[in-house]
Amino acid sequence: MQNSETIWQMVDAKRTEFEALSDRIWGMPEIAYTEYRSVAEHTAMLKAQGFRVTENLAGIPTAVMGEAGEGGPVIAILGEYDALPGLSQEAGIAEPKPLPGNGYGHGCGHNLLGSAAMLAATAVKDFLEATGRPGRVRYYGCPAEEGGAAKAFMVRAGAFKDVDIAITWHPASLTRVGEALSLANTRMDFHFTGRASHAAAAPHLGRSALDAVELMNVGVNYMREHMPSDARIHYAMLDSGGIAPNVVQASAKVRYAIRARDLAGMLALNERVRKIAQGAALMTETTVAISIMSAVSNMLGNTPLAEAMHQNLLRLGPVPFDAADRDYAAQIQATLSEEDILTDYRRVGIPPRPDTPLCDFIVPREAKGEPMIGSTDVADVSWVVPTVEVRVATHAIGTPGHSWQITAQGKAPAAHKGMVHAAKAMAGTALDVLSDELLLARAKQDHRERTAATPYVCPIPPEVQPPLQPRPQAA
Ligand SMILES: [Zn+2]
């Protein structure tokens, strides 16, 4: 108990510089595998704090790892810093207003995610140095969480092979150690090739790749009735074959995201979608090339670690929001629907509390909500290392994921308080594992039991490499 007070003071001692790091990352939003400026910021901070730094981790130029300490167990704290397209937004206001530029924005709060994770790792490092205790702590700077599955590639490259425990968090509207339920997810591209022709003079000579994409989508939409109810399929047209309706489209491309409760269920659905694509090609006399872009597994929980994390949350209490924080959150809530707000409560399984726009409580462990029907590449780490993820309130209750409202709130005082709180919860849990051999053993036993029946198989085919992007030329 005394130890956690000490490490929380170490978090507070450095909070200002890490809040500033988060704000800088917010101001340079970069999307999957282009995070060159963000990783440079994280690398510089790791060096400034005295970590032993490995750049270009797993052959990914926008991934970095910093390690400190000697001997003992290895605790990995995972951070992210990638942004999203289409979510550019001015900070600190409560109306949609994109900033000039490429339209990218931190609409999932990963500016906070990475900074708090490194702050936690730094506090553990400072604690180990101050006490001379054995143990190693690592900060993993992980790019491309949004659609890039970087952690799955990093797992495949062996980046976590000597790690004992992994800890991470995500910015949220409600503070809790969630049910570990996320969906396995594949992103697959279907590129149809047909034959161009004059659509009026020689329509019989053309074979439309766009027709094939449309028929494939219709086929998949008919399949929806006959798939598991917690599976999810969605698609985006990457290439509709051109803008001239009088030219039969010779090329068209659609990207699918296919999600299911577990890896086996996803692989089965993948095969059904492939068959539909092949059927569409057959119907239209086109050909189809199918390629997997990325894939992640479903998330495995870890009961002993989740309980340890929850105890840290209880000892910390809720995030210390003040009246000004609540006032801004109420302005954000005014932009949301009643349904947005109720959905947040329903998801975690607690009754709505209309008196507060910010989470000034901790969701009980026993609350049984609806599963988080999203996907994350943290899941692949959870298959090879006992992993715990905490969610800590950084924004108004009801704020939808991937929204301009998250970008707007990403530099607010409430967000800073939430990220520091998350760093304390993670550092406290890391310390519990370093101080309690039994907890470490129980976490490993829990992990063995969860993976005994179905050992981990990387969902990314061996020939698929991360879609690395070139370093932008200096202007
Ligand atoms: Zn996210």
**What separation in Å is there between the alpha carbon of 117 and the centre of ligand 1?**
13
**What separation in Å is there between the alpha carbon of 108 and the centre of ligand 1?**
5
Please give all residues whose CB falls under 5 A of ion ligand 1, grouped by chain where several chains appear.
108
Question: What's the pTM value of the predicted model, to 2 decimals?
Answer: 0.90
**What separation in Å is there between the alpha carbon of 255 and the centre of ligand 1?**
21
**What separation in Å is there between the alpha carbon of 109 and the centre of ligand 1?**
7
**What separation in Å is there between the alpha carbon of 375 and the centre of ligand 1?**
9
**What separation in Å is there between the alpha carbon of 377 and the centre of ligand 1?**
10
**What separation in Å is there between the alpha carbon of 355 and the centre of ligand 1?**
27
Give me the helix-helix angle, 303-316 and 2-13, nearest 10°. Answer: 70
**What separation in Å is there between the alpha carbon of 1 and the centre of ligand 1?**
31
What is the per-residue pLDDT for 354?
85
294: phi then psi, degrees, rounded to nearest 5: -165, 165
**What separation in Å is there between the alpha carbon of 112 and the centre of ligand 1?**
10
**What separation in Å is there between the alpha carbon of 235 and the centre of ligand 1?**
20
What is the per-residue pLDDT for 370?
75
Residue type, 233: I
**What separation in Å is there between the alpha carbon of 116 and the centre of ligand 1?**
14
Q: What is the three-state SS of 212-239? A: HHHHHHHHHHHHHHHCCCCCEEEEEEEE
Q: Please count the other Cβ atoms lying within 10 Å of the Cβ belonging to residue 191.
A: 19
Report the C-alpha gap between 137 and 125 in whole angstroms: 6
**What separation in Å is there between the alpha carbon of 139 and the centre of ligand 1?**
17
pLDDT tens-digit series, residues 211-233: 999 999 999 999 999 999 989 99
Report the C-alpha gap between 415 and 400 in whole angstroms: 15
**What separation in Å is there between the alpha carbon of 106 and the centre of ligand 1?**
9
**What separation in Å is there between the alpha carbon of 241 and the centre of ligand 1?**
32
- State the greatest distance between any 2 C-alpha atoms of the chain, in Å, as a whole number: 83
What is the per-residue pLDDT for 3?
82
**What separation in Å is there between the alpha carbon of 225 and the centre of ligand 1?**
29
Name the CA radius of gyration of the chain, rounded. Answer: 23
**What separation in Å is there between the alpha carbon of 146 and the centre of ligand 1?**
7
What is the per-residue pLDDT for 325?
98
**What separation in Å is there between the alpha carbon of 400 and the centre of ligand 1?**
12
**What number of H helices and E strands is found in the chain?**
14, 10
Q: Is 200 exposed, middle or buried (0-12, 13-18, 19+ CB in 10 A)?
A: exposed
**What separation in Å is there between the alpha carbon of 44 and the centre of ligand 1?**
23
pLDDT under 70: residue ranges of the chain: 1-2, 179-180, 371-373, 474-475
**What separation in Å is there between the alpha carbon of 113 and the centre of ligand 1?**
8
What is the per-residue pLDDT for 2?
61
At residue 335, the 3 state secondary structure works out as: coil
**What separation in Å is there between the alpha carbon of 340 and the centre of ligand 1?**
18
**What separation in Å is there between the alpha carbon of 257 and the centre of ligand 1?**
17
Write the CA distances from 389 to 46, 118, 234, integer angstroms. Answer: 22, 15, 26
Please say whether the beta carbons of 391 and 174 come within 8 A. yes
**What separation in Å is there between the alpha carbon of 373 and the centre of ligand 1?**
13
**What separation in Å is there between the alpha carbon of 210 and the centre of ligand 1?**
33
**What separation in Å is there between the alpha carbon of 163 and the centre of ligand 1?**
23
Q: Both tokens of residue 353?
A: 């509390």
Angle CA 267–270–272, to nearest 5 = 115
Smallest CA-to-CA distance from 475 within 37, 116, 167, 134 is with 37
**What separation in Å is there between the alpha carbon of 391 and the centre of ligand 1?**
11
**What separation in Å is there between the alpha carbon of 442 and the centre of ligand 1?**
29
For 296, the enclosing helix (H) or strand (E) is strand 287-296
